Homo-oligomer: A and B are copies of this chain.
Amino acid sequence: MAKSKFEYVKQFEAEDKCLPNCWIVIRVDGKSFHRFADVHHFVKPNDDRGLNLMTRAAQCVMDEYKDVVLCYGQSDEYSFVFKKNTNVFNRRGSKIMSNVVSLFTSSYVFYWPRYFNTQSMQYPPAFDGRVVLYPGDKNLRDYLAWRQADCHINNLYNTCFWKLVQERGLTPAQSQEKLKGTLSSDKNELLFNDFSLNYNNLPEMYRKGTVIIHQKEKELDANSMSPLERSPRNSVSFSFQGDYIPRTRVQILHSDIISEKFWTEHPQILDGVKK
């Protein structure tokens, strides 16, 4: 059996190296998660178990890929930012993307029981993935701002929508009709006037989504004795326990990443890779 006779077929594989000196963003996105959420009785508009499981899966990716400098998640999506000069998998786009999507998916299924306890998973979910390159730091920040703005807009809408359905008894169609054409200010007022809800008092995780970054070295030192006691405001030092030993410490935040403040406080995210 001549192996070599067939090996020419390897030449049909196309190279897909990512342009050097660009931020590599991998975004994973739940496939048909509307249905998945329904089947598994997710709490609407936000299910803490589901959101925390997403974050746990994202963290597995960050543990594995040290060149991910930041990841951001909301709803059924997570974006992973590889540093500009990463050489992971020799910058092959499909290789990086498929590995991230697969590990994320794997972790989501693997850790499901920790978050959903006795409620068993009904069928295996899937996530799609994409690779996007951003040449400039501003482009990257605008990408993340785009996703966080999307989180806000959707959450404000969904909060209103489900209030109308759950507390006012409107049908989904009626609720949708009522919200058609409303501005953000209209929705804020609706929540405040009709449901005595100040939108800004909702948990930041719902309004801002979740940011995960590596902990700075000196914080790691300071924290070495008792990481959980020293978690900075607005973050939770994550200490993975049990069967799987993490190799880094990360910070889980629900910060505003659109405005300047976050980037001023965490200059190392963009700095380490300036070229």
Contacts and interface: CB of A to CB of B under 8 A. Distances in A.
A28 B99 CA distance: 10
A261 to B, nearest CB: 16
Given A3-B153, A12-B132, A12-B134, A139 B275 contact: yes
Contacts of A95: 128, 130
Interface of A: 1-3, 5-15, 17, 19-22, 28, 31, 60, 64, 94-95, 97-99, 101-103, 105-111, 121-136, 138-139, 142-143, 145-146, 149-150, 152-153, 184, 243-244, 258, 275
Given A12-B133, A14-B132, 17 more contacts: A1-B152, A21-B134, A21-B135, A31-B102, A60-B124, A64-B126, A95-B128, A95-B130, A101-B129, A102-B128, A105-B106, A106-B108, A107-B124, A109-B109, A110-B124, A123-B243, A135-B135
A28 B101 CA distance: 12
A12 B79 CA distance: 15
Complex copy number for this chain: 4
A43 B66 CA distance: 32
> Top 10 A-B pairs ranked by shortest CB distance?
A135-B135, A6-B146, A106-B124, A98-B129, A110-B124, A109-B109, A103-B126, A102-B126, A9-B143, A102-B105
A117 to B, nearest CB: 16
Given A102-B129, A106-B106, A109-B106, A19 B14 contact: yes
Most B C-beta atoms less than 10 A away, residue of A15, A133, A153: A133
B139 A136 contact: no
A19 B22 contact: yes
A59 to B, nearest CB: 12
A160 B126 CA distance: 39
Contacts of A15: 15, 17
A143 B13 CA distance: 11
A99 B8 CA distance: 27
Contacts of A105: 101-102, 105-106, 109
Contact of A109 (B5, B64, B110, B150): B110
Given A19-B135, A102-B101, A109-B109, A130 B94 contact: yes
A143 B6 contact: yes
